[in-house]
Amino acid sequence: MPVKIKQRHLKHAKVNIKELKITLRAKFRGMREEMPATKKKVWDASICHNLLRLREYQENDTIFLYVSKDIEVNTYPIIQKALGHGKRVAVPLCIPGTYLMEFYYIRGEQDLEPGSFGVMEPVVSQCEKVQDLSHGLCVVPGFSFDAKGFRLGYGKGYYDRFLSSFGGFTAGICYANCIQWNLPHGYYDRPVDVLVTENYIRRTATRPSKKG
């Protein structure tokens, strides 16, 4: 179940929001680094299973997926499953010198190479750039999410900027023990439409599904 942040912290959110986020990121990073590998493998598989059950996954032809690092929910099996299901899979490329990212379609791990922050990114010379951001299912990473779908990201704002112009459906994937009851967020922050953990699927907003 979500863990409730004490309200006394949120009363001063406007003053201490940056400090609070830094503290929360350190907390959840530590939790993930200490997670036993066997437990993480089981939880990752359950999250993958629950994500693939979504009707929005089944209805959309384009799946936007991040390429995971060790402390994140493992997306490599999701990428493989989606490609096997005939989906078009797009992964992000961070644009140097900015806090922006673009997505490129990949056909498999052969289209990936080490990029920004040690993350595997698409090989631009052999991948097609995604031009239409009006539809699709975007799987969103985060250190934590809250009950309303707001996320605690990694502090660079890449996904916040991308999601501001994305017109499709969004799914946050996260471990259940990293879910908070509420998180500090700004006026322009966009919550994900559905939250997927190893234990449950929680719809955070009511909107029609989009085919793409």
The answer as to whether 210 is a domain residue is no
Residues of the chain under the 50 pLDDT cut = 3-13, 15, 208-212
> How many CA atoms lie within 13 Å of 164's alpha carbon, on the beta-carbon side?
11
- In the three-class reduction of DSSP (H, G, I as helix; E, B as strand; rest coil), residue 4 is classed as coil
- pTM of the predicted structure, to 2 decimals: 0.88
H or E stretch including 179?
strand 179-180
Contact 104, 91 (CB under 8 A): yes
Contact 87, 63 (CB under 8 A): yes
**Most distant CA pair in the chain: distance in Å?**
51
The answer as to whether 2 is a domain residue is no
Q: What is the pLDDT of residue 117?
A: 79
Q: What is the pLDDT of residue 206?
A: 53
The answer as to whether 211 is a domain residue is no
- The domain total for the chain is 1
**Rounded to whole angstroms, how far apart are CA atoms 175 and 143?**
9
Residue 96: give the domain boundaries: 7-203
Q: What is the pLDDT of residues 146-180, one digit of tens each?
A: 999 999 998 888 999 999 999 999 999 999 999 99
Of 55, 43, 36, the C-alpha closest to 173 is 43
The answer as to whether 209 is a domain residue is no
Q: What is the pLDDT of residue 2?
A: 53
Q: What is the pLDDT of residue 158?
A: 92
The string of DSSP codes covering 72-84 is SPP-HHHHHHHHH
Count the Cβ atoms, other than its own, within 10 Å of residue 64: 24
CATH number, domain at 52? 3.40.50.10420
The answer as to whether 190 is a domain residue is yes
The answer as to whether 92 is a domain residue is yes
